[in-house]
Amino acid sequence: MPTKPENANELLDVSTADEEFLNDAIEGLSRKPQKTISPKYLYDKRGSELFDDICELDEYYPTRTEISIMRQYADEMAEAIGTEALLVEYGSGSSMKTGTLLKALKNLTGYVPMDISGEHLEEAAQRIAADFPNLHVYPVCADFTQPFDLPPVEGTVRRRVAYFPGSTIGNFTKAQAADVLKHISDLMGSGGGLLIGVDLEKDPEVLKRAYDDSKGVTANFNLNLLDRMNRELDANFDRSAFEHQARYNHDLSRIEMHLVAEKPQTVRLDDTEISFNTGESIHTENSHKFTEETFAELAGEAGFTLVKVWKDPRAYFSVMYLEVA
Ligand code: AVI
């Protein structure tokens, strides 16, 4: 059995400091005319659990559709990637999709799971290391909206390939997504690849049901952000005075999540007071939907060329493979 490099399975923590949450929350909630908070703050431990519950909902089609695409086409994806690749996963933890891909990949040199949550990451890395005992796993704790370096790895790396499942790219604004894609293309380098889950444009009614489900799980996920600010930032939000809303923005092809104040109120956040009028909202998340063309254009700005696209029969979701020229 090959021996593992010394740094395999060791967590490399390059995440940003916690006080950023307070600064970001005060800055975002002071914005006019639209109060806003970055969607990355939806994912504390409770938020991550609620997101896992969302993925199980009948109305939330993306997860199960992406898994079915991975199961059906993993071999074709592995063929496009080739041998002796270093696979870098953006936002790991989606072990079902990753396992399917790792099984199909031939002679993989190493696997770098990356996540902003150290806890989530260690669990995911341990699971993968147990399922693939011969695989060299190098977990990296990082906020991938910022540039970061890859750990040194042992063996021949013929190509670095980013694996970015879940259509998380859709949660960034177009400008942020272009930046993230540029960081990825810089890190993968010339000849590098990107295998990415991309949610597709569809009937807005299907989208509204997916983002405002009948069991209220997505509402809880959104409202948890208020609880989180109370827990971590010494805030005093009354969650019963806010309502979850999912709105489809036709012009920007995206679902927007908002927390809407149901009555006028003033909330304290550390030493800052934030006032809300009735109907005023905090914009908490965007989920952009693409066509093959709009995504190829966005990724093209970062130096990627679209090589292949796999879709489900309803064309609800896609997995695209792109390469850096
Ligand atoms: C993580 N991300 C891709 C999800 C999405 O569909 O945009 C987050 C989510 N928000 C509400 N439901 C799911």
- Global pTM? 0.92
Can you give the pLDDT at residue 252?
A: 97
Are the CB atoms for 258 and 247 separated by under 8 Å?
A: yes
Residue 242 sits at φ, ψ, to 5 deg, of: -125, 150
pLDDT at 45: 85
Nearest CA to ligand 1 atom 1: 168
Q: Which residue's alpha carbon is at the smallest distance from atom 11 of ligand 1?
A: 211
* 325 residues of the chain, pLDDT tens digit each: 445 556 565 555 544 456 899 999 999 999 999 999 999 899 888 998 999 999 999 999 999 999 999 999 999 999 999 999 999 999 876 567 899 999 999 899 999 999 877 877 888 888 998 999 999 999 999 988 888 899 999 999 999 999 999 999 999 999 999 999 999 999 999 999 999 999 999 999 999 999 999 999 999 999 999 999 999 999 999 999 999 999 999 999 999 999 999 999 999 999 999 999 999 999 999 999 999 999 999 999 999 999 999 999 999 999 999 999 8
Q: Which residues contact 28 (CB under 8 A, 6 or more apart)?
A: 35, 36, 37, 38, 282
**Residue 198 in contact with residue 62, Cβ under 8 Å?**
no
Contact 138, 12 (CB under 8 A): yes
Mutate to test the pocket of ligand 1, among 38, 43, 49, 54 (most ligand atoms within 8 A of CB): 54
206: helix, strand or coil: helix
Instruction: Give the pLDDT of residue 15.
Output: 47
pLDDT at residue 239, as a whole number: 96
pLDDT at 96: 73
The rounded Å distance from CA 141 to ligand 1 centre is 21
Helix (H, G, I), strand (E, B) or coil at 244: strand
Paired with 197 in beta bridges are 319
Q: Quick one: pLDDT at residue 308?
A: 98
243: β partners: 260
For ligand 1, atom 7, name the residue with the nearest CA.
287
CB 16 within 8 A of CB 143: yes
H/E element, 286: strand 281-288
Neighbours of 34 (CB within 10 A): 11
Tell me how far the alpha carbon of residue 60 lies from the centroid of ligand 1, in angstroms. Answer: 9
Q: What per-residue confidence (pLDDT) applies to 135?
A: 96
